[in-house]
Amino acid sequence: MSGSLAGAEKAGQPVPLAILCGSGAFPLEVAAKAAEAGRAPFLIGIVGSTDAAIEAYPHVWLRMGEVGKLFAALKELSIRDIVLVGAMTRPELTDLRLDWGAVRRAADLARLFRKGDNGLLVGLAAILEGEGVRVVGAHEVAPQLLAPMGPLGSRAPSAEDEADIALAAELLAALSRFDMGQGAVVAGERVLAVEAAEGTDAMLARVAEMRANGRLRLKGPAGVLVKTPKAGQELRLDMPAIGFNTVAGAARASVRGIAVAAGRVLVAERTRCVREADAAGLFIAGFGR
Amino acid sequence: MSGSLAGAEKAGQPVPLAILCGSGAFPLEVAAKAAEAGRAPFLIGIVGSTDAAIEAYPHVWLRMGEVGKLFAALKELSIRDIVLVGAMTRPELTDLRLDWGAVRRAADLARLFRKGDNGLLVGLAAILEGEGVRVVGAHEVAPQLLAPMGPLGSRAPSAEDEADIALAAELLAALSRFDMGQGAVVAGERVLAVEAAEGTDAMLARVAEMRANGRLRLKGPAGVLVKTPKAGQELRLDMPAIGFNTVAGAARASVRGIAVAAGRVLVAERTRCVREADAAGLFIAGFGR
């Protein structure tokens, strides 16, 4: 907690925390954990992306590009901290509904559209911080969401799984500097799939399809889904995450388990994930560098 | 042409050439070009994989694993050279119909199943060469199939396309040592898709799908499909190739063009590919290192 917030804490006021919510249920879980930790969540929904369930909390809806409206809301509520949570569809510049606050920052916004997803978020964070809003990581307000070292459920990786995990981790490290996906599926030290713009769920669906159509002729559960951050990735902004969808997709792809970089990947809905993984015979495990 | 074949050539006899045919029409094109160059093609079909059109040439059908039958045919016809052409589904060891010739080479065959696709082909070539059969590249018997430097059709890459090509080439170089796919789609210096076990056609279908479902919000044609061999790839065995399917898939994915490593990627059905690319407004171009 920064010094600037100490006054509010001393006065017994919950310190407000803005959560800019991408799609999915994860922003709500972060809000719940942050509330448990004594923060007062204020949720910012993106029209067309964010789940309407955010309306259970104090909230505001914005359209992509309504940057002025965002800053006005933060200022009105004296919010100094913001978390960016969940997937955001990368918009085309011409799709944005730019308000005056956005036009004033047009040069900064234009720069966001030159690079990959990481560039988009880093640029957005720079704009926020340029206005005196501190961008904090979901894991900073809710560290209990981070994957720990070792197995989470009742199964653990075998020695062969460990070899697949090591190869996938090496592959993902080699891909780091290309600002792209953070996942791969490796089976028997063979790379079956690499994630780029399609995301982890679509990559797992592809593995399931290759098994179903005979392109991959594997008997029984095979391979591991591995997720890591990019080297040097700004974890405050864009920490990789797994959740129930990931476990369900991994089960459909008939992998043996899911391995994530311990302390550097978020696990959404952990209880539900572990129950599903145990039922499907999958391991979920955190691994070290 | 090796010294050992000079006698047969001098005598005016066409020198026989075995072509182990994977799926698709490309093995037949290699057979036709080799026949033009004065060789006598003998086609080897894999039951369940190879197109029945190989029966236009002298041929034999084998099941996966009938290694003894393969060597018997080569010996009977005094065939010293073999080309391996077209995609082969990687079989499970237990799916193989092993004959006595295979059992005798069981230890060698078992080694083939430990690694990626490249390992499979390298191992197969080693077994063939261990029996005195020389494995030659499709580009050695039909060099006119190699992509030349520069544009093949009426369009050429723009400066922005060149930047995407350079980034993709760098990415594929970084992936080389993982014995996996040889293709990527990059648009505006963002990596949209990386090929692993699914193959180029499936990767292009994924890009088309991401555009259709809004995951990728790109206006108009965007990005380049880039294909290169792996660094140190055994080009005799497993040279990357593009063909009509690739062009049709690239058109559906609305990329701006296809770039391949000049002199290191084969172009099947070039006339048809160029006509289709021109009609779809795509470039096809060879690029240097």
Instruction: Please answer whether residues B16 and B58 qualify as being in contact, where contact means their C-beta atoms are separated by less than 8 angstroms.
Output: no
Give the B window 90-119 contacts with A, CB below 8 Å: 90-92, 94-95, 114-116
Q: Is B134 helix (H, G, I), strand (E, B) or coil?
A: strand
Instruction: Among A91, A177, A216, select the one facing B197 at the smallest CB separation.
Output: A216
**Top-confidence residue, B120 or A160:** A160
Instruction: Please answer whether residues B9 and B49 qualify as being in contact, where contact means their C-beta atoms are separated by less than 8 angstroms.
Output: no
**Top-confidence residue, B6 or B284:** B284
Structure tokens at B179: 């014995």
Instruction: Please answer whether residues B85 and B21 qualify as being in contact, where contact means their C-beta atoms are separated by less than 8 angstroms.
Output: yes
Task: Report pLDDT for A219.
Answer: 87
Closest chain B C-alpha to A3 CA, distance in angstroms? 39
Q: Nearest-5° angle of CA B28, CA B181, CA B244? A: 35
Closest chain B C-alpha to A210 CA, distance in angstroms? 7
Q: What percent of chain B has pLDDT over 70?
A: 83
Q: Nearest-5° angle of CA A242, CA B185, CA A176? A: 45
Instruction: Look at A51-55, A276-280, B100-104, B192-196 and tell me which has the smallest mean pLDDT.
Output: B100-104
Look at A219 and B94 and tell me if their CB atoms are within 8 Å. yes
B201 interface with A at CB cutoff 8 Å:
no
Q: Is B127 helix (H, G, I), strand (E, B) or coil?
A: helix
Instruction: Look at A67-71, A77-81, A159-163 and tell me which has the smallest mean pLDDT.
Output: A67-71
Q: Is B277 helix (H, G, I), strand (E, B) or coil?
A: helix
Rounded to two decimals, the pTM is: 0.81
- Contacts of A99-102 with CB under 8 Å at 24 or more apart are A99/A65, A99/A66, A99/A67, A99/A68, A99/A69, A100/A68, A101/A66, A101/A67, A101/A68, A101/A69, A101/A70, A101/A71, A101/A72, A102/A65, A102/A66, A102/A67, A102/A68
| CB < 8 Å to A184, chain B | 196
pLDDT-derived band of residue B66, with 50, 70 and 90 as boundaries? confident
Q: What does the pLDDT average to over B107-113?
A: 59
Only one residue has tokens 């997720």, namely: A227
Tell me the residue type at A124.
L
SS3 per-residue string spanning B169-198? HHHHHHHHHHCCCCEEEEECCEEEEECCCC
Nearest to B66 by CA among B80, B49, B83, B79: B49
Look at A194 and B194 and tell me if their CB atoms are within 8 Å. yes
Burial B27-66 (b: 16+ CB within 10 A, else e): bbbbbebbbeeebbbbbbbbeebbbeebeebebbbbebbb
Task: Report pLDDT for A1.
Answer: 39
Look at B218 and A92 and tell me if their CB atoms are within 8 Å. yes
Task: Report pLDDT for B160.
Answer: 97
* Residues A41, B25: Cα–Cα separation, whole Å: 61
Q: What percent of chain B has pLDDT over 90?
A: 57
* Residues A243, B213: Cα–Cα separation, whole Å: 22
This complex has an ipTM of 0.78
Only one residue has tokens 């399609």, namely: A198
Can you say whether the dihedral through the CA atoms of B260, B264, B266, B267 is positive or negative?
Answer: positive
| CB < 8 Å to B253, chain A | none
Task: Report pLDDT for B101.
Answer: 66
Looking at the predicted structure, is the pLDDT value of residue B96 above 80? no
B193 interface with A at CB cutoff 8 Å:
yes
Closest chain A C-alpha to B139 CA, distance in angstroms? 26
B75 interface with A at CB cutoff 8 Å:
no
Backbone φ, ψ for residue B253 (5° rounding): -80, 0
Nearest to B136 by CA among B78, B80, B79, B82: B82
Instruction: Please answer whether residues B74 and B134 qualify as being in contact, where contact means their C-beta atoms are separated by less than 8 angstroms.
Output: no
Instruction: Look at B89-98, B139-148, B257-266 and tell me which has the smallest mean pLDDT.
Output: B89-98
Tell me the residue type at B257.
G
Most confident of B38-47, B110-119, B123-132, B225-234: B38-47
* Residues A112, A134: Cα–Cα separation, whole Å: 19
Instruction: Please answer whether residues A273 and A242 qualify as being in contact, where contact means their C-beta atoms are separated by less than 8 angstroms.
Output: yes
Q: What does the pLDDT average to over B59-80?
A: 89
Looking at the predicted structure, is the pLDDT value of residue B263 above 50? yes
Looking at the predicted structure, is the pLDDT value of residue B124 above 70? yes
First to last CA, chain B: 28
